[in-house]
């Protein structure tokens, strides 16, 4: 009897591209599962994930909560007797999972390769340029006007009180990006959750938590844990990442607050008090928060950038587009944002407008590509952590059944 | 006569079971053989074992007859405490510089033991892997050949030295001995430099130093040996507790690119042998063996089957990657069982690390121009007049060492003809 074995070339290629081709070295000694400070006694990883990947059982991997619980601290890679680099392999599996769970598929595939970088930058660049062209706001203001309005009339100005022209265009661009991203994440997380439930053999649960119970018991504690960086701190080899990741995350939270404030004052209060339009005063506490957050973001991503460079030089991490694309995007957002602000303050409108245009591209990329790049971890890992709590809870482990 | 014939003599470096075998095989067909050994005695690692494969003989069984053959053979000249310093020339005309370290006891010694009686200074017993102290004037072990005492002069006070010298009835103590260098001319060199147990301290995650309940497999041999530190009683070092449970940590440092990349071949069998020692003394003790895969080639399979059938022995597929010292003197070993997919924290009274074989010649070999592979094993190179044998060549058991040593002797003879 002859057997026709068709290797899953697509999966193998995906693992290679994302830096996981060392997985074939693994000989299942399970050192990694003990080395990993995050792996639990009942459901240890990454040994099992290594053999699932070797066998090409990608369906099992995509819905494996452990894949997302891994923080890639590299303790396993450090101790691996075969150089199979389980930490990097799990990173590659995550990259594959984001792609597999992502919607629309074409966009998810586009984000997986450095070859597509021109297209990835080109899409928002063209869309924003197109908006700029049709907005009619295509003129660079004189110094005195620039000082007064800053970039708030990038897409022009009209006297319609209820919605500023600039806001309309920015909303058009960013809300589209965010909308696609959120739809994708919603679909992805729903699929992941169902898959994770199936992976522990969960079919009929007599009692399910209500939304409030779910948030209170599983999601909120996970968010608190993420904020505190407790799992990051468990790492030994690469604990320095906390120094970068924490300011970066706090920076993001700060900027999120500022964006909400800005949206509220400019678009809601601004309807009644037109003076609320225009740049916020430098001494406004919110502006202060914005600047501190921006610095924290650039500083944080800078530390992570250096950290990764150092690790790659020491051969402790593989150079992959998957890891660097997110670092580049965040650095892009931070640097162009701060540069645009500085150019406004010192009053160079022409260059300021170019930098602001780049800033809009970077922000749009960060939003749009969030579900398909490493950035997706903020959603998928959070829900995996919530699931980890859920599967240990009495909803699943009914004490009466045991 | 070939152009590499020279004087036909063979230098055998390393006087363990491989070196002894190679030396005898060559000498007994009439070749001049120089057998040099770095220790004060011949017999190497086999002398330290309690029993050895394939027939679980005590080392006296194989070594004694060979020592007798050496003593009876005028073609073999033996040198202890001697190492190779440099090599010049090529096949047929090697000139080898050697150095003999002072023993401070000359050939008048009858091993009567009077010097040891009066010696008050003590040193770590290297033969027993430091598990006990011995007098600084000592016979390395009961069966030591040559049967002559050694004086560790540096460890002794001047008063002790005077007492030791005065105690000897045969004028055998010579405190003025100096290191001696000499040159040998040989046609070929057999490297049978053997192995050292891999340093367990280097496997940092196993916390070897954190508890006396963690021992190595070679220490287990000494514990089980009648001439060992406990007279053959397997007890926990430190508190002499009779262990009720044992954990064997396989591949401790072997098959690991951070330590020894190669499989040390003997450790799985050594563990099964140790289970047989334990079963002789503790028929009911719990035994846990943590392994990646068990390698018991050929006829050793039957030995494995016999001990795997033991109801009090558990075999867990998963390498121990962490050991935690417990307050009661025991340790907890941590591994993932790859078959069930859950982690195990197994508390035991005594934990044995199955440490592997590290080729003993090391960096020195490179300096002497010896051809070595990436793991430090010596590559046989008859074209250059250098042949390797036993565990210097690859990690093997005594049986295979005998085969490769006989083969090495044949090669060496051919170079010198």
Residues 125-154 of B with CB under 8 A from A: none
B321: contact with A, CB 8 A cutoff: yes
Percent of chain B with pLDDT over 90: 96
- Do A47 and A28 meet the contact criterion of CB atoms below 8 Å apart? yes
Q: Give the pLDDT confidence score for residue A212 in this predicted structure.
A: 96
Whether A82 and chain B come into contact, CB under 8 Å, resolves to yes
**What pLDDT does residue B355 have?**
97
Q: How many CB pairs under 8 A join A and B?
A: 63
Nearest residue of chain B to residue A43 (CA atoms): B342
User: Are the beta carbons of A34 and B256 separated by less than 8 Å?
Assistant: no
Nearest to B342 among A27, A31, A41 (CB): A41
Instruction: Select from A27, A33, A79 the Cβ nearest to the Cβ of B336.
Output: A33
Record: contact B336-A30, CB cut-off 8 A: yes
B343 touches chain A (CB under 8 A): yes
- Band (A400; pLDDT cuts 50, 70, 90): low
Burial of A296 (0-12, 13-18, 19+ CB in 10 A): buried
Helices B398-415 and B17-27, packing angle to 10 deg = 40
CA–CA dist B379, A229 (Å, integer): 52
For residue A84, report the phi and psi dihedrals to the nearest 5 degrees.
-80, -10
* Domain B10-101+179-194+360-415 falls under CATH 3.40.50.300: no
Task: Answer yes or no: CATH 3.40.50.2000 is held by domain B198-357.
Answer: no
CA distance B386 to chain A (A): 32
Give me the mean pLDDT over the A108-120 stretch: 94
Residue A279 near chain B (CB below 8 Å):
no
Does residue B239 carry a pLDDT above 80?
yes
Q: What region, left, alpha or beta, does residue A31 occupy, with left being phi > 0 and alpha being psi -120 to 50 degrees?
A: alpha
User: SS3 for A192?
Assistant: helix
pLDDT at A1: 63
Which pLDDT value is given to residue B235? Answer: 98
The answer to whether the CB of B10 falls within 8 A of the CB of B34 is: yes
Residues of chain A contacting B345 with CB distance shorter than 8 Å = 41
Average per-residue pLDDT for chain B: 96
pLDDT value of residue A166: 85
- Interface membership of A316 toward B (CB under 8 Å): no
Q: How far is CA A281 from CA A148, A150, A151, A351, B86, in A?
A: 11, 12, 14, 22, 82
Indicate yes or no: CB of A79 within 8 angstroms of CB of B259.
no
How far apart, in whole angstroms, are the C-alpha atoms of residue A368 and residue A184? 10
Right CATH number for A9-101 from 1.10.1060.10, 1.10.10.410, 3.30.1490.20, 1.10.287.3610? 1.10.1060.10
Report the gap between the CA of B277 and the closest CA in chain A (Å): 27
**Cβ–Cβ of A40/B343 closer than 8 Å?**
yes
CA distance A54 to chain B (A): 15
Residues B247, B345 contacting (CB under 8 angstroms): no
Burial class (CB in 10 A: 0-12, 13-18, 19+), A128: buried
Question: Residue A201: its pLDDT value, please?
Answer: 82
Mean pLDDT for B200-229 is 97
A331 to chain B, closest Cα gap in Å:
36
Q: Which residues of B touch A22 (CB under 8 A)?
A: none
CB contact under 8 A, B321 and A40: no
**Is B338–A44 a contact, with Cβ atoms under 8 angstroms apart?**
no
Evaluate if residue A203 carries a pLDDT over 60: yes
Query: With an 8 Å Cβ cutoff, is A83 touching chain B?
Result: yes
Contact check, Cβ <8 Å, A29/B251? yes
A200 CA: distance to closest CA in chain B (Å): 13
Q: At what angle do helices B300-308 and B267-281 cross, to 10 degrees?
A: 50
Query: A164 vs A302, which has greater pLDDT?
Result: A302
Residue A401 confidence (pLDDT): 60
Residues from chain B contacting residue A29 (CB–CB below 8 Å): 251, 255, 292, 318-319
From chain A residues 144-173, the ones with a CB under 8 A of any chain B CB are none
Q: Minimal Cα–Cα distance from A253 to chain B, Å?
A: 37
Shortest CB distance from B336 goes to which of A27, A34, A82? A34
Kindly tell me if the per-residue pLDDT of A162 is higher than 80: no
Between A106 and A263, the more confident residue is A106
How far is residue A154's CA from residue A161's CA, in Å, rounded to a whole number?
A: 17
Q: Are strands B286-291 and B245-252 parallel, antiparallel or unpaired?
A: parallel
Q: What is the DSSP letter of A336?
A: H
Residues in chain A: 402
User: CB within 8 A of B61, min separation 6: which ones?
Assistant: none
Residue of A nearest to B337 (CA): A30
> Domains of chain B: which residue ranges?
10-101+179-194+360-415, 114-167, 198-357
Which residue on chain A is closest to B322 by alpha carbon?
A: A34
Q: With 60 as the cut, is the pLDDT of residue A299 above it? A: yes
B261-320 residue pLDDT tens: 999 999 999 999 999 999 999 999 999 999 999 999 988 999 999 999 999 999 999 999
- Residue B54 preceded by cis peptide, ω within 30: yes
Contacts of B255 in chain A (CB under 8 A): 27, 29, 81
The larger pLDDT score, comparing residue B310 to residue A159, is at B310
DSSP conformational letter for B38 = S
CB A58 within 8 A of CB A96: yes
Alpha-carbon distance A339 to nearest alpha carbon in chain B (angstroms): 47
List the single range of A154-158, A205-209, A296-300, B305-309 with lowest mean pLDDT.
A205-209
Segment B42-84, tens digit of pLDDT? 999 999 999 999 999 999 999 999 999 999 999 999 999 999 9
Q: What is the ipTM of this complex?
A: 0.89
Q: What percent of chain A has pLDDT over 70?
A: 98
Say whether residue A39 is in contact with chain B using an 8 A CB cutoff: yes
Instruction: Give pLDDT, residue A245.
Output: 95
Q: How far apart are CA B366 and CA B193, in angstroms?
A: 14
Predicted local confidence at residue A282, as pLDDT: 82
pLDDT above 70 (res A402): no
Residue B240, number of CB atoms within 10 A of its CB = 9
> Nearest C-alpha of chain A: how many angstroms from B362?
21
The answer to whether the beta carbons of residues B348 and B333 sit under 8 Å apart is yes
Model confidence over B312-371: pLDDT tens digits? Answer: 999 999 999 999 999 999 999 999 999 999 999 999 999 999 999 999 998 899 999 999
Give the pLDDT score at A272: 79
Question: Closest to B342 (Cβ–Cβ): which among A35, A44, A82?
Answer: A44
Query: What was the pLDDT predicted at A399?
Result: 66
The shortest CB-CB distance from B318 to any of A30, A43, A83 is to A30
Cβ contact, residue pair A30, B321, below 8 Å: yes
Our CA-based measurement puts residue B31 at a distance from the nearest CA of chain A, in whole angstroms, of 46
Cβ B345–A81 below 8 Å, yes or no? Answer: no
* Residue B324 touches partner A, C-beta closer than 8 Å: no
Indicate the pLDDT class of residue A158, thresholds 50, 70 and 90. confident
Higher pLDDT, B395 or A153: B395
Q: If contacts are CB pairs under 8 Å, which of residues 299-318 in chain B contact chain A?
A: 317-318
Whole-angstrom distance, CA of residue A261 vs CA of residue B126: 75
Contact B319 A33 (CB under 8 A): no
- Closest CB to A42: pick one of B292, B334, B342: B342
- Residue B319's closest chain A neighbor by CA? A29
Residue range A52-96, pLDDT digits in tens: 999 999 999 999 999 999 999 899 999 999 999 999 999 999 999
β partners of residue B346: B333
Q: Which of A15-24, A236-245, A267-276, A376-385 has the lowest mean pLDDT?
A: A267-276
A77/B contact by beta carbon, under 8 A: no
Instruction: Select from B253, B323, B343 the residue whose CB has the most chain A CBs within 10 Å, as the one to mutate to test that interface.
Output: B343
Tell me the C-alpha distance between A113 and B405, whole Å.
Answer: 57
For helices A165-199 and A349-368, the axis angle rounded to 10 degrees is 20
Of A34, A40, A43, the CB nearest to B321: A34
Indicate whether B383 pLDDT > 70: yes
**Is there a common fold for B10-101+179-194+360-415 and B198-357?**
yes
DSSP H or E segment with residue A165: helix A165-199
Residue in A31, A41, A81 closest to B343 by CB: A41
Q: Give me the residue spans of the domains in chain A.
A: 9-101, 113-401
Nearest-neighbour CA in chain B from A9: distance (Å): 27
Q: Which residue of A has its CA nearest to B336?
A: A30
Indicate whether B214 pLDDT > 60: yes
Tokens 């060992």, residue? B228
Chain A residues in contact with B203 by the CB 8 A cut-off are none
């Amino acid at each position: 009897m002859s057997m026709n074995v068709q290797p899953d070339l697509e999966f193998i290629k995906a693992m290679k591209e994302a830096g996981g081709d060392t997985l074939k070295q693994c000989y299942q000694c399970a050192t990694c599962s003990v080395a990993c400070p995050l792996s639990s006694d009942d459901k240890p990883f990454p040994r099992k994930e290594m053999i699932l990947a070797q066998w090409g059982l990608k369906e099992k991997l995509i819905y494996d909560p452990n894949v997302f619980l891994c923080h890639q601290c590299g303790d396993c890679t450090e101790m691996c007797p075969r150089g199979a680099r389980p930490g990097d392999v799990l990173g590659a599996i995550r990259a594959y999972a984001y792609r597999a769970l992502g919607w629309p598929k074409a966009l998810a595939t586009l984000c997986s390769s450095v070859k597509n970088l021109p297209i990835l930058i080109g899409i928002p660049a063209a869309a924003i340029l197109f908006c700029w062209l049709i907005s009619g706001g295509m003129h660079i203001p004189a110094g005195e006007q620039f000082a007064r309005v800053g970039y708030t009339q990038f897409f022009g100005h009209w006297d319609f009180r209820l919605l500023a022209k600039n806001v309309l265009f920015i909303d058009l661009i960013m809300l589209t990006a965010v909308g696609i991203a959120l739809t994708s994440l919603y679909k992805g997380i729903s699929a992941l959750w169902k898959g994770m439930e199936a992976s522990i053999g969960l079919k009929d649960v007599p009692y399910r938590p209500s939304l409030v119970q779910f948030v209170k018991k599983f999601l909120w504690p996970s968010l608190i844990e993420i904020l505190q960086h407790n799992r990051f701190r468990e790492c030994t080899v690469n604990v320095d990442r906390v120094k970068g990741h924490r300011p970066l995350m706090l920076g993001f939270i700060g900027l999120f607050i500022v964006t909400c404030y800005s949206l509220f004052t400019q678009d809601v209060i601004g309807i009644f008090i037109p003076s609320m339009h225009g740049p916020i005063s430098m001494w406004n506490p919110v502006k202060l928060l914005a600047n501190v957050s921006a610095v924290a973001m650039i500083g944080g991503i800078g530390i992570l950038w250096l950290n990764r460079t150092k690790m790659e030089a020491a051969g402790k991490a593989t150079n992959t587009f998957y890891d660097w694309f997110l670092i580049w995007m965040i650095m892009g957002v931070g640097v162009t944002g701060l540069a645009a602000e500085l150019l406004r303050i010192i009053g160079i409108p022409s260059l300021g407008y170019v930098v602001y245009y780049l800033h809009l591209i970077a922000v749009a990329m960060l939003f749009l590509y969030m579900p398909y790049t490493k950035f997706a971890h903020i959603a998928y890992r959070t829900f995996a952590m919530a699931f980890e709590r859920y599967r240990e809870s009495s909803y699943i482990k009914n004490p009466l059944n045991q | 006569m070939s152009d590499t014939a020279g004087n036909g003599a063979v230098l055998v470096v390393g006087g363990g079971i491989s070196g002894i075998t190679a030396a005898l095989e060559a000498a007994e067909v009439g070749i001049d053989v120089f057998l040099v050994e770095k220790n004060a005695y011949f017999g190497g690692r086999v002398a330290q074992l309690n029993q050895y494969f394939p027939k679980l003989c005590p080392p006296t069984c194989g070594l004694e007859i060979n020592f007798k053959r050496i003593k009876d053979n005028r073609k073999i000249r033996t040198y202890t405490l001697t190492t190779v310093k440099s090599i010049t020339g090529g096949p047929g005309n090697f000139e080898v510089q050697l150095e003999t370290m002072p023993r401070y006891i000359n050939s008048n010694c009858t091993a009567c033991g009077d010097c040891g009686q009066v010696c008050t200074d003590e040193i770590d017993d290297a033969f027993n892997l430091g598990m006990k102290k011995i007098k600084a004037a000592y016979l390395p072990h009961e069966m030591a050949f040559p049967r002559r005492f050694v004086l560790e002069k540096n460890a002794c006070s001047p008063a002790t030295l005077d007492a030791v010298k005065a105690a000897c009835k045969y004028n055998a103590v010579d405190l003025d001995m100096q290191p001696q260098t000499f040159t040998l001319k040989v046609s070929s060199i057999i490297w049978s430099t053997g192995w050292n147990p891999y340093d367990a301290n280097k496997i940092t995650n196993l916390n070897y130093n954190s508890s006396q309940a963690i021992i190595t497999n070679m220490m287990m041999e000494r514990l089980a040996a009648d001439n060992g530190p406990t007279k053959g009683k397997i007890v926990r070092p430190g508190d002499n507790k009779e262990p009720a449970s044992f954990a064997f940590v396989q591949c401790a440092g072997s098959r690991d690119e951070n330590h020894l990349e190669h499989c040390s071949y003997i450790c799985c069998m050594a563990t099964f042998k140790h289970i047989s020692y334990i079963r002789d003394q503790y028929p009911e003790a719990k035994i846990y063996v943590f392994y990646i895969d068990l390698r018991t080639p050929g006829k050793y399979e039957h030995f494995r089957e016999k001990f795997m059938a033991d109801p009090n022995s558990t075999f867990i597929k998963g390498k121990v990657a962490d050991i935690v010292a417990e307050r009661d003197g025991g340790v907890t070993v941590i591994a993932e069982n790859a078959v069930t997919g859950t982690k195990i924290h197994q508390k035991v009274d005594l934990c044995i690390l199955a440490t592997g074989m590290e080729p003993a010649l090391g960096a020195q070999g490179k300096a002497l121009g010896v051809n070595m592979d990436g793991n430090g094993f010596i590559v046989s190179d008859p074209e250059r007049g250098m042949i390797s044998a036993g565990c210097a060549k690859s990690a093997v058991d005594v049986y295979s060492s005998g085969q490769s040593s006989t083969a090495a002797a044949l090669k060496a003879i051919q170079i010198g003809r």
